[in-house]
Every structure is written in C-alpha cells, then in structure tokens.
Structure 1
Amino acid sequence: MRVFDRLAKACLIAGVMLSPLVAQAADEDPWEGVNRVIFRFNDTVDTYAFKPLAQGYQYITPQFVEDGIHNFFRNIGDVGNFANDVLQAKPRAAGIDVTRVIFNTTFGVLGFIDVGTRMGLQRNDEDFGQTLGKWGVGSGPYVMLPLLGPSTVRDAIAKYPDSYTQPYPYMDDMSLRNSVFGLNMVDTRASLLSAEKLINGDKYIFIRNAYLQNREFKVKDGKVVDDF
C-alpha cells in the first residue's frame, strides 16, 4: 500500500539521520537555556491563541459531537499504531489495532463511534519514536520544538516517518487539508485542558519531567524500574 511504501522510505531516512546519536550519551536536558526560550514562546502562543480556541470550541460544541470528532482522529491514529505495532514485531497488538480501524471505520461511521473499545479491543498507543526506542535507539537530549512542544532528538526526527501514517500527505485539496489539520490541533488542545490542573511548581520542569517519564514508560511498555 502507498502509505507503507512511503513509511518505509521515511524510516530509512530517519535511521540514517539517527545513527550518530545511538552512541552519543547526553544529559537529559543539556540545551535547557534554549529550550526555555522556545517554551516561553510556545506558552505565549498557547495562552493567546491555542488555549482560547480550544476553550471556545469546547464551549460551543455539544459533548457528543466533541466525542465523535475526537474518536474520528483517534481512528486515524490507529493506522499509525498498527504500522508501528508491525515494526515492533507485536502481532497481537497489530491485530487489535487493524481490527479497530476496520470496525470503527465501518460500524463506527468513519470512526465517530468507538465501537472497538466497546467490543473490548483496547487501543494501543505507538509511534515511530517508540519503535526506534524498542530497537535500542537512545532518546538523545530533550528538546522543546517550536509550536509542537516537548520532545527528544529521537522523537523529533521520528515525527517525519509518522507523518506518512496521517492523511495530510495524501490530501490534494489544500483548504480541506488545512481545515482537517486545524480541527485536529484544536481537538488535541481541548483534550488537554483538564490536565493543566495537575501542573504545579516550575511549569517547564513539570512538563519536561512528565514527558520524559511518559516516553520511557511507553517505550518500555510499562516495564520501568521504580527509583523508590
């Protein structure tokens, strides 16, 4: 299929770019000074643009419509989950995710209804950064990406292959592509509004630590060593 051909080429490019990083041991956040500057920029844009849009969207959108839109984008995300299940040699997870896509797209009306979860098919959450981590590629230093938020060098580069499991590269109508992308961004931001209440202390450090711990948990499939 076209998506897997393009994903394979993108994976090869990402692997070549990441090869020098595998042997490089680095502190988690050696670029903190620059990262904080980018974080402040992102936080300002979020405060005056993304967050108000998300709040307005959540305010005017009926809950069942918001849930349907969220399910729709999660269904698209299951394509990437399936691709990375295969790349990580996880046949059971791959079977679950491809079944979810089929059932949700058909019986769930293009994914607006999450029938897969109701049938007991629990969604996996995989991406190419986790795939690289699965096969031993180190995360590299923490990096704050403009507008995109927290990441690591490995995960930032992995966004390129992951982009080919999204519909945007295959949409020729620019206005439609931008509208769908924008709606996805607003939906994602709206889903994070409630999580902001958990942030305390230095916001930069809180987000950095939460991101790095969450990524380690996902790469190791929850098999992490408790430091305490």
Structure 2
Amino acid sequence: MQRKVCALLMLLSVLGVAGVNAESDGDPRDPWEGFNRGVFAFNNTADEYLVQPVARGYRQVTPAIVDQGIANFFNNIGEIKNMANDLLQGKASDALVDGGRFIINTTVGVIGFFDVASYIGLKRESEDFGQTMAVWGVGPGPYLVLPFLGPSNLRDGAGQGVDSYVSVTGTVDPEAARYGMSLLDLLQVRASLLGTEGLVSGDKYTFFKDAYLQRREFLINDGQLKDDFGDEDFESFDF
C-alpha cells in the first residue's frame, strides 16, 4: 500500500513540475487532455477485458445479501476516514455521527456487515482529504486521469494518496491480505456499476470528466448548489 501511495505522489509531483506537454481542446479545467485521454483509453481497455469480466463472475456467484454486506463492511471501515476529515474541516457534529455509525455498525452490525446505523437515522456522509483541502482553500488544479484509479485532479489525487496511507486496510498484515482486501473492495464497487454503461452518452471521456467534476463540486459544497445569480441554493439533496 505504501508503495502505491509513493508512486501516486511521485506521479503527481512529476506532472506538476513538467506540466505534461499534451494537447487540449481548450477546456481550461483539462490542459493535459492528450495525456489524460491516453490514460483513459488504457483504463477503459483494462476494464473491458479484465475488470468487467471478473466483476460479472463475482456478481454471478455472490448472493445479493453477501454483496451488500461486503459493501457495508468497507463503508464501515471508511467511517474512520470520514470522521478524521470531518474534524479537519471543523464539522464536529458530523464527526460525532460518523463515530456513532462506526461504533454501532462494528458492534450491533457485526463488524459492519449490517448497516444498522442507517436504520436508526444516522446518515452516512463520505468525506476525504481532497474535500478537506478544498475546504482549506486549496484549488483543484488541472483535471487528471490516473492509471487504474480513474478521474481525479491534482488536489484530489494527492488526497487519495493521503487517505490510502492512513486507511485501516493499510495496517493489515500480511501484505497479501492487505492487497486482497483492496482488490475485493474494487471488485465489489465495479460489480455494483454493471449495467450503467448505457447511461453514458456522447464522447465517453468528456462524459466521465464532467460527471466527476460536478460530483466533486457537489460533495465539497455538502450538496449546497448555487443558482445562476450566485446565491446559495434553496435546498440540499443527494444524487
């Protein structure tokens, strides 16, 4: 895990210094479009010929209740990250909710296999270090597609490195078990997205870029949108 984090941060540093001499279609958010499209094509090919087939096999042999339990387990582990980033952002009440969710789901929910906390009204909110840096005033930087990890930007890519370094799974021994857990997490998430390919329209690269950037803006602002006049929006809602 630490090697993956170091490699990611090294890549981000090289990109930041070199500027990635690649052609762009004029989107100011995406000055490295030539490079990004190349990585996107690589990721897309790997997904089509490797990840998708394995995810379909996983879906076929895994009962729905077990699949949901695995998703709940990894969400529960993620509550530690959520709580830490809530505290770093000054959201004490949200940190208490995340801490409560972790305690309840780890105990009553059988190490997180069952999401009991949601049933009693403790809503899960996802926080990460990229969002924390945004709250601190750090700009997103150029859009960036990372090998295997997909859409990101300089700020959020660095944030992923920090989150990975301090994650609970990073403390698991032996190393093979650690990577096995990470692979299972990735596989479960990919399997949950099977069948959504039909929602993609137009240029696939642009579709995913816009979807990612809009989603990140939504998360950073905690669901608070703005109208065309720049006023705070009327209501917060989930995608």
TM-score interval (norm. to shorter)? 0.7 to 0.9
Partner of 1:47: 48
Secondary structure at the counterpart of residue 151 of structure 1: strand
Please report the RMSD computed on the Cα atoms of aligned residues, expressed in angstroms. 2.1
Partner of 1:188: 189
Amino acid at match of 2:164: S
The Cα shift of 1:227 comes to: 4.5
Secondary structure at the counterpart of residue 224 of structure 1: strand
Partner of 1:8: none
Amino acid at match of 1:142: Y
Partners of 1:79 and 1:165 within 8 A in 2:
no
2:178 and 2:39 map into 1 onto residues whose CA distance is 27
Partner of 2:235: none
Matched residues, number: 208
2:170 and 2:112 map into 1 onto residues whose CA distance is 20
Task: List aligned pairs for 1:148-159, cutoff 5 A.
Answer: 148-159=149-160
Higher relative contact order (CA 8 A, sep 6+): 1
Percent of aligned positions that are identical: 49
What stretches of structure 2 of length at least 5 have no aligned partner?
A: 1-8, 18-26, 230-239
TM-score, scaled relative to structure 2: 0.82
The Cα shift of 1:57 comes to: 0.6
1:212 and 1:154 map into 2 onto residues whose CA distance is 12
The verdict on how the C-alpha distance between 1:194 and 1:98 changes in structure 2, with shifts beyond 3 A counting, is farther
2:194 and 2:135 map into 1 onto residues whose CA distance is 31
Amino acid at match of 1:109: V
TM-score, scaled relative to structure 1: 0.86
The Cα shift of 1:223 comes to: 1.9
2:82 and 2:205 map into 1 onto residues whose CA distance is 29
Deviations, residues 44-86 of structure 1 (Å, cap 9, x unaligned): 0000111111111111100000010010001011111111010
Secondary structure at the counterpart of residue 143 of structure 1: strand
The verdict on how the C-alpha distance between 1:98 and 1:116 changes in structure 2, with shifts beyond 3 A counting, is same
Partner of 2:4: none
The Cα shift of 1:144 comes to: 0.4
The Cα shift of 1:167 comes to: 2.3
Partner of 1:123: 124
2:96 and 2:72 map into 1 onto residues whose CA distance is 19
Amino acid at match of 1:39: F
The verdict on how the C-alpha distance between 1:194 and 1:75 changes in structure 2, with shifts beyond 3 A counting, is farther
The Cα shift of 1:195 comes to: 3.2
Deviations, residues 105-143 of structure 1 (Å, cap 9, x unaligned): 000000000000001000011100000001111000100
The Cα shift of 1:220 comes to: 1.2
Amino acid at match of 1:209: D
1:205 aligns with 2:206: yes
Task: List aligned pairs for 1:46-85, cutoff 5 A.
Answer: 46-85=47-86
1:168 and 1:131 map into 2 onto residues whose CA distance is 21
The verdict on how the C-alpha distance between 1:53 and 1:138 changes in structure 2, with shifts beyond 3 A counting, is same
Task: List aligned pairs for 1:92-107, cutoff 5 A.
Answer: 92-107=93-108
The verdict on how the C-alpha distance between 1:165 and 1:191 changes in structure 2, with shifts beyond 3 A counting, is farther
2:123 and 2:183 map into 1 onto residues whose CA distance is 27
The Cα shift of 1:196 comes to: 2.5
The Cα shift of 1:182 comes to: 1.0
Following TM superposition, the consecutive aligned residue runs of length 4 or more in structure 1 with deviations greater than 3 angstroms are none
Task: List aligned pairs for 1:104-183, cutoff 5 A.
Answer: 104-183=105-184
Secondary structure at the counterpart of residue 121 of structure 2: coil
Amino acid at match of 1:221: D
Secondary structure at the counterpart of residue 196 of structure 2: helix
Q: Which piece of structure 1 moves more, 160-169 or 132-141?
A: 160-169
Secondary structure at the counterpart of residue 116 of structure 1: helix
1:171 and 1:178 map into 2 onto residues whose CA distance is 9
Q: Which has the higher helix share?
A: 1
